[in-house]
Amino acid sequence: METHPPRPVPEPEPNRWAVPTGGTTDFTWEYDGGRERLLALYQRGKDRQWDAVRRIDWSLEVDPADPLGTPDEALPLHGTPYWDRLGPADRRELRAHHAAWQFSQFLHGEQGAMICSARIVQSAPDLDAKFYAATQTMDEARHVEIFSRFLSEKLSMSYPINDSLRSLLDDTLRDSRWDMPYLGMQVLIEGLALAAFGALRDTTTKPLPRRLLAYVMQDEARHVAFGRMALRDHYRQLGSAELAEREEFVIEGCHLMRDRLRGTEVLENFGVPRTAAARIVEASGHLRLFRRVLFSRIAPCLKDIGLWSPEVQEAFADLCDQGAGETDLDRLMRQDEEVAERLDAERFAIEERERAGEVAEMITLGAEDRIPDRSVDGDDASLPPAG
């Protein structure tokens, strides 16, 4: 049956969301010293600043009908009667919409991270934390730039912020306690984003999205390390009741993050009723496998900072699997660094070969165009004859 591809999803109007924020602005006059680990991370953050215009080759082509090289089996609609009703053009459009939805949520999450890191500059009690959060704010602005450009130039469509992500950002920003932007953003949202970025980075066959994700992950690994250091020190000083409040926030936030990944908005845009879309997504074997790794970055971080009570462990057993807290987070972050550096090395090697080829070509052309030496017995025969 011939069908018409759905129209691109417009951003809602008006394109603004005002969130009243709690808390106070905290100045400190202690300019000397600080925690060496955070100051070292701050120095690393300064050293690792980069320009998205120069580091990324935006001339790389992206096929709008297959931006990520996603196999049919990875799409939740595959294997259902709704899939069977779609023609080839509709299936290409579905793949494009699915990628646009994923990268739109990445974009909205990165803007949330930018705002939360700026909030940490405002509310953190220690100067070393303010220093690092300032570098992170710049990192997150760069990530917003990257994902926004990818969506507008390569996919030409975007989706609104997912309700679950909006709800977690709202809870994080409204809380007046200074550590909650750390917990909501650095641990939950950033931790889940890292796992999602990693899963796509390692499965996409397309060079541009792979580079985008690898370079963003290189920054995000430092951000999660920052949250771990700051919160671990703070939570050692809290009583059981205060820790229990934060654990409740974590459990609720993780369930919101699980729901954020459904992508039912895409299926609804293709004519699938909302209840059927939710049922199809929950039955997707690919999504269940995806979820199993998504919390792999959050659980060991929570364990490290002291929020790993039996209640939190039970919640994670329901969200993913019993062994989530045993993931070696430091090893994963070293791998993130290595992947980004390897991609840079590959690109520079290719550019060097191209430059060498261009030089060799110019030398060859120059040799071919040179006027031959026709001198005889020392006379300069290369000059034109007189007269």
Radius of gyration of the chain (CA): 26
pTM summary value: 0.82
pLDDT of residue 383: 43
Domain boundaries, given as residue ranges, for the chain? 70-362
The residue among 351, 349, 98, 57 whose CA lies nearest residue 207 is 57
Which two tokens mark 26?
């905290």
User: Does 97 have pLDDT greater than 70?
Assistant: yes
Q: What is the pLDDT of residues 13-23, one digit of tens each?
A: 557 777 777 67
Alpha carbon distance 99, 192 (integer Å): 17
pLDDT of residue 297: 79
pLDDT of residue 355: 63
Report the mean per-residue pLDDT for the chain.
83
Q: Of 157-166, 221-230, 271-280, which gets the smallest average pLDDT? A: 221-230
Q: Residue 49 gets which letter from DSSP?
A: -
Across 194-219, average pLDDT = 91
Question: Between residues 382 and 349, which one has the greater pLDDT?
Answer: 349
Domain 70-362, what fold? Ribonucleotide Reductase, subunit A (1.10.620)
pLDDT of residue 90: 92
C-alpha distances in angstroms, 297 versus 176, 292, 320?
26, 11, 12
C-alpha distances in angstroms, 321 versus 20, 55, 257, 316?
36, 38, 16, 7
Whether the CB-CB separation of 50 and 214 falls below 8 Å is answered with no
Structure confidence at residue 3 as a pLDDT band (50, 70, 90): very low
User: Does 56 have pLDDT greater than 50?
Assistant: yes
pLDDT of residue 308: 93
User: Does 245 have pLDDT greater than 90?
Assistant: yes
User: Does 286 have pLDDT greater than 80?
Assistant: no
Backbone phi, psi, residue 314, to 5°: -65, -40
- 108 half-sphere exposure, CB direction, 13 A CA radius: 23
Structure confidence at residue 2 as a pLDDT band (50, 70, 90): very low
pLDDT of residue 382: 45
Q: What is the pLDDT of residues 330-357, one digit of tens each?
A: 787 788 888 888 888 887 776 666 566 6
Whether the CB-CB separation of 324 and 258 falls below 8 Å is answered with no
DSSP for 285-325, written as a single string: HHHHHHHHHHTTTTHHHHHHHT---HHHHHHHHHHS-TTGG
Question: Between residues 5 and 47, which one has the greater pLDDT?
Answer: 47
pLDDT of residue 386: 46
pLDDT of residue 41: 82
Percent of the chain with pLDDT over 90: 35
Alpha carbon distance 200, 291 (integer Å): 13
Between vectors from CA 190 to CA 283 and to CA 230, what angle results, nearest 5°? 140
CA-based torsion, 304, 197, 168, 177: positive or negative: positive
pLDDT of residue 384: 47
User: Does 377 have pLDDT greater than 70?
Assistant: no
